[in-house]
């Protein structure tokens, strides 16, 4: 059995008038992530990690930010499509681990729902998805509340 690992990173600024969506879950907050799609940095970093592990480029290659069909799209739709893309090449997601960097809002109350939503989109069980959140203790753009960042690692194995 072949196994591969990929890393994904995404960052979006926070903006007024936008919903805050992380892992496909709406999080109550005064600002949301600005992006061509829903700006979901968690899902975007996972997509990049999966595509990287499969050797298939990045999110922008498959879902270009200038393409109007992706404007405002729910990023979990792109995640489901990513799983289909790798399955066409005989890969499947084995495990995902991600860390969200955000000063606020506090995300702990939403982690279980985020994990369940991601697991459904990835077609894996909840225990194969790890999501953590941390602050940067007031340092940098995340610490000043200007944006949210996320890092993810994905493990794939062959589906043969």
Domains of the chain: 3-158 (3.30.1330.50)
pLDDT of residue 160 exceeding 80: no
**For residues 153 and 7, is the Cβ–Cβ distance under 8 A?**
yes
Closest CA to 123 of 93, 81, 90, 88: 93
pLDDT of residue 77 exceeding 80: yes
Q: Is the pTM of this model over 0.85?
A: yes
Beta strand extents in the chain (DSSP E only) = 3-15, 20-22, 25-27, 32-33, 91-101, 129-134, 147-158
| Confidence at 74, pLDDT banded by 50, 70, 90 | very high
| Confidence at 1, pLDDT banded by 50, 70, 90 | confident
Strands 129-134 and 91-101: parallel
**For residues 123 and 93, is the Cβ–Cβ distance under 8 A?**
yes
pLDDT in tens, 9-35: 999 999 999 999 999 999 999 999 999
pLDDT in tens, 82-104: 999 999 999 999 999 999 999 99
């Amino acid at each position: 059995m072949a196994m591969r690992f990929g890393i994904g990173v995404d960052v979006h600024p926070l903006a007024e008038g936008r919903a805050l969506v992380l892992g496909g879950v709406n999080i109550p907050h005064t600002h949301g992530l600005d992006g061509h799609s829903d700006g979901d940095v968690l899902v975007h970093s996972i997509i990049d990690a999966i595509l990287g592990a499969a050797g298939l480029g990045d999110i922008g290659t498959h879902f270009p930010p200038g393409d109007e069909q992706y404007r405002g799209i729910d990023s979990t739709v792109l995640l489901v499509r990513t799983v289909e893309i790798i399955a066409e090449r005989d890969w499947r997601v084995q495990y995902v681990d991600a860390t969200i960097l955000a000063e606020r809002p506090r995300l702990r109350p939403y982690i279980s729902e985020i994990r369940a939503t991601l697991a459904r989109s990835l077609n894996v069980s909840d225990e194969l998805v790890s999501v953590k959140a941390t602050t940067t203790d007031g340092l940098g753009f995340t610490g000043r509340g200007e944006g949210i960042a996320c890092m993810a690692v994905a493990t794939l194995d062959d589906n043969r």
